[in-house]
Structure 1
Amino acid sequence: MKQEERAVAGAGVKGGARRGAALVMAGMLALLPSAAAAQPSGRPTAGANAPVTAAEPTFADLVSLAEAADVVVRLTVRRQAEVRGDRAMGLAPGQARLFLEGDTEALIAGTAPVGARLRWLADVPRDARGRAPRLRRQSVVVFARLVPGRPDELQLVAPDAQLAATPALEQRLRPVLAALLAPDRPPVITGIEDVLSIPGNLVGESETQIFLRTADGRPASLTVVRRPGQAPRWGVSWSELVDQSAAAPGRETLAWYRLACGLPRTLPEEADLARDPAARRQAVADYALVLEQLGACDRTRA
């Protein structure tokens, strides 16, 4: 083959490869979750090789990502290309949309097998110079759904559902995954069903029971007990039994997450079984105590 013919043939092969990659990218863009669905609130990190996320994920971040995912995979990035223009619609300021390809290191969670090499799209923070970070050879953890009929592609559960893989992250993540897979895991809280506050025989004595609504209909309730001369005590029960001895959940547990991130900020009026104004005020005060002691459901992601 003449030199000119070889050059033309080579250009045709490269052009075909580029067109093939563009078609794959176009298909994956159609699967990308809405950028408005989940955007990180942290500021971009400086440096050309910036970490994959702008802020350390909170416990609530990890639970919400893991709970939405079919698979959690650790990968080594082998190839990246920035998605620009119309294909990056909905991209938040300070973010870059990347088409990524990587080798599977480990399937951290998920029952379905994944390919040895995978492709996905992710929104990542730009560095201080406004450039997309260079992720080639970096390890990342992605929270994703499987794409039917495309075993070599993943769809992230949110545009930013990609984190820098570190031993510290996996140490925090594995207990979360184990808790979500446990048969006795606490149900998702969707609201408050009923509230009942009963005064005791002594001044300052009362018991408030708050019955919760759950996504799967399983029982859940809060009990707040006040005794004269003692600090108020509250606990949660995940069974039909309303137990005065029930304890409050520890922070950064799935039970804590269900309550801190699932309970409404105020007690709905229609949920109060007692029409006595004093009992109503007591129930409101006891519910406020529970929220205060649970603390905020902090997130770095919207």
Structure 2
Amino acid sequence: MRALLPALAVGLVTLSYGFSSVSAMQAQTPVTAASPYSYADIADLATIAPMAIHGRIYKAVALKPEQAPGLKAGQARLYVEADVVGLIRGSGPLAARVSYLVDLPLDAKGKPPKLKKKQPILIFARPVAGSAAGTNSTASVRLVSPDAQLPWDPATEAKLRAILTETVKPGAPPAITGVANGFHVPGTLPGEGETQLFLDTRTGEPVSLTILTAADGSRRWAAAFGEIVDGSAAVPARDTLAWYRLACGLPRALPLAKLGGTAPEDRKKAVSDYGVVLGALGECTRTRTPPAGS
């Protein structure tokens, strides 16, 4: 029976949103090239995967079309066995080798891609019931999306670890699913005003946006992750978990139906204020299709 690898817990590091976190191990490993994946690409997977595994390909076999129900056009389904180099996220012991199915694009010749033995990879997965370590030499896992296997490189792992560090912090920003309600009220001076928007989240935890307009027309905004609405809070820095939740979770247009009881003119101001928030956050840049549930 193959040796078992102990789980490696994701270390907790106390940091403010907007600052990168790098483990001591990463600090000893120079990163010479940028990751080919955006922050959102990695966060899409890291925030929903119970397991993140650094592995190396042991073998990969392309399945026949009749063995791959639901396979999308232009893709191949492969049965893969990978040796575990390290468990970046997860709990409990894990077999030294895991097996899973992955859907990858066909190559330029329309053939299934060739995964070379010992090729380093990152796997985002869930354990399969009945395939616990210690019962089989190879444990089965299920990817969190059909293509949740990425090529490994130091920069991508560093980005993954930074994201995971944020996700396990107390009060980590939850996934945003929409706008619950909101309003705009004029200020005491001409031109002044305040818009408050309360957001729906997957966990039910409160998240709100406050946009303040001064008499001179200048505007500032803040996001509050928690019960306390603080209009002076800092704007989330790009490529942080708070930024990702907002930039990738907010709808592209403010649903006016959520501004019940707000006068038509004030609704227009709320829409304008919402546009300021979206503009400040910038695009949620992705190079791959996000998995369902991210």
- For normalisation by structure 2, the TM-score amounts to 0.79
Contact 1:74 1:107 (C-alpha < 8 Å) held by counterparts: yes
Equivalents in 2 of 1:275, 1:236: separation in Å?
A: 21
The corresponding residue for 2:167 is 180
Contact 2:192 2:217 in 1 (8 A): no
Q: Distance in 2 between matches of 1:230 and 1:279?
A: 15
Partner of 2:15: none
2:127 maps to 1:139: no
Question: What SS is found at the alignment partner of 1:68?
Answer: coil
Structure 1 residue 178: Cα displacement: 1.0
2:194 partner letter = E
Runs of at least 4 residues off by over 6 Å: none
Deviation sequence 1:229-255 (CA, Å, 0-9, x none) = 363111101122222212221111111
Q: Find the aligned partners of 2:199 and 2:115 in 1 and give their Cα distance.
A: 47
Does residue 121 of structure 1 match 2:101? yes
Superposed displacement of residue 195, structure 1 = 1.1
In terms of Rg, which structure is larger? 1
In the alignment, is the contact (CA less than 8 A) between 2:180 and 2:200 conserved in 1? Answer: yes
1:156 is aligned to 143
Query: Partner letter of residue 244 of structure 1?
Result: G
* CA deviation map 1:67-101 (0-9, x unaligned): 22121111111111111121123333332221111
The question of whether the paired residues in 1 share the 8 Å contact of 2:184 and 2:262 is answered with: no
Residue 189 of structure 1 and its aligned partner are, at CA, apart by 1.4
Kindly report which structure 2 residues correspond to 1:278-289, keeping only aligned pairs within 5 A, or say none: 278-289=265-276
Question: For the residues of structure 2 that align with 1:285 and 1:274, how far apart are their CA atoms?
Answer: 18
> Aligned equivalents of 2:226 and 2:57: distance in 1?
45
Alignment match, 2:196: 209
Indicate the percent of aligned positions where both proteins have the same amino acid: 43
More helix by share: 1
Which stretch of structure 1 is more off in the superposition, 211-220 or 282-291?
A: 211-220
In the aligned structure 1, how far is the partner of 2:73 from the partner of 2:44?
23
Counterpart-to-counterpart distance in 2, 1:100 and 1:187:
33
- Which structure has more RCO (C-alpha within 8 Å, separation ≥ 6)? 2
Contact kept in structure 1, 2:56 and 2:120, CA below 8 Å:
yes
Report if the CA contact (8 A) 1:188-1:258 is conserved.
yes
CA distance in 2, matches of 1:86, 1:254: 41
